[in-house]
Structure 1
Amino acid sequence: MAAGIRSAGRAGAAREARPPLGRELLLVAALFLVYMAGRRLATGHESRALHNADRIWELERAVRLPGEGLVQRLLLHSEPLVHTANTYYAAVHFPATAAFLVWLYWRRPAHYLWSRRVLTLLTGAALALHLLLPLAPPRMLAAAGLVDTARVYGPSVYGAAPGTDSLANQFAAMPSLHFGWALMVAIGLIRACAGRWRWLWLLHPLVTLLVVVSTANHYWLDALVAAVLLGGALLSVRAPGRPFAMAARPAGASR
């Protein structure tokens, strides 16, 4: 039995071999540059983006999705809450995803490779959709009657007019990568961790969803499409097994 466990441990360690750090840093940096270049390539198209926004708004009402304004009105009852939501939108997206990948790299290398590949597929599909379907966010849509909370209350990540912003594509609402990445962070951590408390990671995509909608940066459908694209990416990349520390627990051990 002990020999079998030691053998399984060596096999598990082999499966958990950490990829070279230099290679991963270069790869992630290259992917980030491609991501930013793709977003800049998709800028402009203001008339198409506003026309598509009208169609998305009408579609949501036709299928009786709750109005984004319902969530925003709850947010606007408290100015500190608005500031918190705007800060969450501006400051959590990239750092949370980076921290997720760094932790997986050091503690769960096989899960890191899986998560990095899934995020790459998701982001690539999202960039393609940004090019095919430029979409103005609800904060730009007059029919929505929503407040641009970042512009009015701050802080804002958008420092220029939508058509002239060289750092971000403000007509890339569909899909919401804020929500898609947050959902993958939760799924990846639930898969890589043990214990019942790991399910609390689902609070991250839930809070992100409420934030992106209440700040008028995304429609409900933006999050739904992101979830569908993530589902396709998850089906395309084989998931790793459970970490050895959990998998090797004797069958009779308490859980």
Structure 2
Amino acid sequence: MGEASVKTLETPPAAAGGTPSTDASAPTASGGEARAGRERSLLTRLRAPRRPRIWFEVLLIGISYWTYSLIRNAVPEQKAAALANADWIWSLEQGLGIAVEHSVNHAVNSVTWLIVGMNYYYATLHFIVTIGVLVWIYRFHPGRYAATRLVLFATTGVALLGYFFFPLAPPRLMNGGHFVDTVLVHHTWGSMASGNLKHMSNQYAAMPSMHIGWSLWCGLTIFAVASAPWARILGLLYPAATLVVIVSTANHFWLDALGGMLCLVFGYTVSRTWYGALPHRLPRSPLETSPHPATAAVLNRFRR
């Protein structure tokens, strides 16, 4: 009986004959781990800071803005709903005690040189400053460029939902609002939503305000990345000045600006989720060692 007990504890014949025992599930597990590893490696490479290519960026920005404009202007111009929503917004602001757009519009309009300057500000700086900040980040902070650009793209993309689901007439188009359309009154070239250019743009896409979304993106980017104090101050003043301009020219309500800010919060959330850190916390150059724990592993993988 003791001998039998010893035999049951001995190595099985197959193993004793020199053929190693294999687990049928081992290859599957190994293959799954390898596949998961490749997927993680691909994701890591996509997230890693890298030096942008000028031809790709110009093409991407051009196509993206063309697509955004096409979709924005293709949204049905629901005039009745847009005017009704404008009345609702105006009533809400009056209830909150912030309905000062009419007073600001008329006060600034009485100073011709000031309102004409604001008309040109509204028509031009929206594009010039935004492109300028993109070029600046591309040239001097290439490691942060992709994440910064993603903030802008996500902000602009989500704004399309507002244009579709909440058509809104600007104050200058309200029935009985008695707002001054400053571009028409002063015969200045300006807003795509006034004069002869109004047929090229959706008149009822005021919520959210991308003048605020983009200008605040510019301001925060400059403030977070610039080293010169004067540049950081100007960065913060730019969205503040833009807010005054959009109200003075009767192109937006205060609450349209709030909508633009919320879109920007969404944009930063998307970028933070994808890259693991806010844009300004990423390395300035893809070749630098990242001091931020959230991006150290990503950068090390990219170097390999």
State the match for 2:54 in structure 1: 21
Deviation at 1:24, TM superposition (A): 1.4
Letter in 1 for 2:140: R
Find the aligned partners of 2:223 and 2:183 in 1 and give their Cα distance.
Answer: 32
CA distance in 2, matches of 1:125, 1:185: 18
**Higher radius of gyration, 1 or 2:** 2
* Match status 1:209 vs 2:209: no
Pick the aligned partner of 1:88 from 114, 117, 121. 121
- What is the distance in 2 between the residues matched to 1:43 and 1:211? 27
Relative to structure 1, the CA distance from residue 69 to residue 143 in structure 2 (aligned partners, 3 Å threshold; closer, same or farther) is same
Distance (whole Å) between structure 1 residues aligned to residue 248 and residue 143 of structure 2: 36
Seen in structure 2, the aligned counterparts of structure 1 residues 49 and 244 have a Cα distance that, compared at 3 Å, is closer
Find 2:252's aligned residue among 190, 210, 218.
Answer: 218
Unaligned stretches of 5+ in structure 1?
1-14, 249-255
* Alignment partner, residue 54 of structure 1: 87
Partner AA of 1:37 in structure 2:
L
Q: Which has the higher contact order (CA 8 A, sep 6+)?
A: 1
Q: How far is 1:244 from its partner?
A: 5.3
Counterpart pick for 1:97 among 122, 130, 133: 130
Q: Specify the alignment match of 1:7 in structure 2.
A: none
Which digits, 9 at most, give the CA deviation of each residue in 1:204-237, with x for residues without a partner? 1011100000100000000011111211221221
**Structure 1 length-normalised TM:** 0.84
Residue 27 of structure 1 and its aligned partner are, at CA, apart by 1.2
Query: 1:43 offset after TM fit, Å?
Result: 4.4
Aligned pair count? 230
Counterpart CA distance in 1 for 2:62 and 2:94 is 40
Q: Where do 1:58-207 residues align within 5 Å? A: 58-153=91-186, 154-157=188-191, 158-160=194-196, 165=199, 167-197=200-230, 198-207=232-241
Quote the Cα distance in structure 1 between the aligned partners of 2:207 and 2:147: 24
Identity %: 37
**Residue in 2 aligned with 1:251?**
none
Describe the superposition over 1:186-205 as per-residue Cα deviations: whole angstroms up to 9, x where unpaired: 11111121243313311110
Contact persistence 2:49–2:146 (CA under 8 A): no
Q: Is the CA contact 2:168–2:204 (under 8 Å) kept in the aligned structure 1?
A: yes
Offset at residue 243 of structure 1 (A) = 5.7
Matching residue of 1:5: none
Distance 2:239 2:197 in 1: 28
8 Å CA contact retained: 1:111, 1:188? no
**Unpaired segments ≥5 residues, structure 2:** 1-47, 273-277, 290-304
Residues 144 and 284, structure 2, Cα contact 8 Å, conserved in 1: no
The alignment partner of 1:92 has SS state of helix
- The correspondence of residues 8-47 of structure 1 with structure 2, limited to 5 A, is 17-47=50-80
SS at match of 1:142: coil
Q: Distance in 2 between matches of 1:25 and 1:64?
A: 44
Q: How far 1:34 moved relative to its partner? A: 1.0
CA-based RMSD: 2.1
Change (3 A) 1:59 1:108: same
TM (norm. structure 2) is 0.71
CA contact (8 A) 2:183 2:195 kept: no
Pairing 1:231–2:231 present: no
SS of 2:131's equivalent in the other structure is helix
